[in-house]
Amino acid sequence: MSTARKLRVAIVGAGASGIMSVIKMREAGIDDITVFEKAASLGGTWRDNRYPGLSCDVPSHLYRYSFEPNPDWSHVCSPGPEILSYLKQVVEKHDVARHIQFSSEVTKAEFNAGKWTIETTQGPQGAFDAVLVAVGVLHHPVYPDIPGLDSFAGPAFHTSRWDDSVSLKGKRVGIIGTGSTATQITGAVIGEVANLSLFQRTAQWVLPLPNTPIPEEEKADYRANPGKLDAEYGRLAKEFNSNFAAAVVGANDEAYQGMVMACQSNLDRVKDPELKAKLTPDYKVGCKRMIMSDIFYEAVQQPNAEVVTDKITAIEPGGVRTADGRLHELDVLVLATGFDTHRFVRPMNVIGREGRRLDEIWSGGNEGYLGVTVPDLPNWFMIGGPNSPIGNFSWLMTAENQFNYAMKLIDKLRSGNVTEISPKVEAVRAFNAAVKAKMPDTIWATGCNSWYVDKNGHVASWPWTYEKFEADMAEPVLDHYEMA
């Protein structure tokens, strides 16, 4: 006869998914929860990023917790500060902060005798029955390997380390990169800078998603009729998941052709043939993460904007030197060079069963089971692990699905019948073999270089429909797990 156990759980990260995990775990009856957050405040990527023009590229009424609708979003796609404010409001409403230890980066997690021992930058934290990793993938900034980068005389910073003391008004500004961040900044600052030089290595496809204000009467209607918010959440989920998500994995050609036409029509707004040629990608729509903007092409056609495609050879005190010999004189240099999305929990030292290190388990590439569990790491659960749906999806919807899946496994630990649970090696191998077999059907495998692709050439996203993801998350197949 078994007795229900009172679990002690560690959560790593106080971003959007970590906050959600505390709330839902408490709803399930677990209250002994400690969240270890490396920064001094909560919010994850919405705390770190505060550059001009920052907004989500998923519609506001889809990018929210299913259990916390918000009738007061200001725009179709929420500005970053508004999302951070939303997260803080949710934390206050649900009394999440009492669980969080700030300025506590986890440096080591070691499994021994059915427990995970945690160490942070604040010292040893004791033993936990389970660990839930909610660190996200967009938090390790990548800096370009360019000679002389440190020699620039003016302010220079990565977009996720924005220097709020620097005014761009009337300045000569250079932006290295042309991803989502760079396009948002370009549209936001072109009207105030003296000159803007956008250094482009690869052209991007840009889907024209108008980010218009939501009328006050619409907000009032949502406040008066909460059911309409749920209906809109469902409508947007269907639109994104059945159309966009299905299109990029080869399951909805009609939707894909619609995306192609919309991107091409948007690009056709560029009138100058030379500029249009620079901005025309040489890969298929959707191979890289889709950029959403209806103002970017207008911005780069302004007389104070220049798209530079010559290779950067060096950074000098006065600006950026390109391969044609030209020095692009600048006052401010912005590095919109993205994140290392494949580091996951690194540099945390994770040691699993019988001394097996996560670095060893992942030496040939990051592989888990359904993006949630890893062999030889018992009672270790991830939100956003390898091959989770990433990119142009609602991260919060993905996070809730994965949490619900993990919680059903954690319930097995709580039952008292099980002290260790981890995926069988053969199940993990079968899952990853299926991923690799299916990936060639997706648009991500058509030949571009994107942040979805790791150093081994593996695409780290979900190659099936979102509906399959939700079905796989609905109930763990216990035969695929070993329990002790």
- pLDDT tens, residue by residue, 345-373: 888 999 999 999 999 999 988 999 999 99
Is a pLDDT exceeding 70 seen at residue 164? yes
Please give the Cα distance from 54 to 473 (Å, whole number).
31
Determine how β-strand 100-101 pairs with β-strand 33-36.
Answer: parallel
- Look at 354 and 241; give whichever has higher pLDDT: 354
Sequence-ordered list of residues with C-beta below 8 angstroms from that of 41, at least 6 positions apart, any chain: 47, 102
Residue 3, pLDDT score: 62
Mention every residue, 6+ apart, whose C-beta is less than 8 A from residue 43.
14, 15, 16, 84, 87, 88
Both structure tokens of 316? 């000098």
Pick from 158, 161, 165, 163: which is nearest to 182 by CA? 158
Residues 415-450, buried b or exposed e (16+ Cβ, 10 A)?
A: eeebbbbbbeeebbeebbeebeebbeebbbbeebeb
Alpha helices in 239-283 (DSSP H): 246-248, 253-267, 273-278
- The total of other beta-carbon atoms located within 10 Å of residue 71's CB is 18
In sequence order, what DSSP letters do the residues of 443-465 get, joined into one string? GGGSS---TTB-TTS-B-S--S-
**Degrees, nearest 5: CA angle 87-88-93:** 100
Report the percentage of the chain scoring pLDDT > 90. Answer: 88
Whole-number pLDDT of residue 1: 42
Contact between residue 54 and residue 80 where contact means Cβ atoms under 8 Å apart? yes
pLDDT tens for 78-137 read 999 999 999 999 999 999 999 999 999 999 999 998 999 999 999 999 999 999 999 988
In this model, does residue 457 exceed pLDDT 80?
A: yes
Domain with CATH 3.50.50.60 in the chain: 9-140+340-483, 149-204+288-335
Give, in words, the CATH class of 9-140+340-483.
alpha beta
CATH of domain 149-204+288-335: 3.50.50.60
36 in Cβ contact with 105 (< 8 Å): yes
pLDDT band at 392 (very low <50, low <70, confident <90, very high): low
Share of the chain above pLDDT 70, in %: 99
Residue 4 has what pLDDT? 80
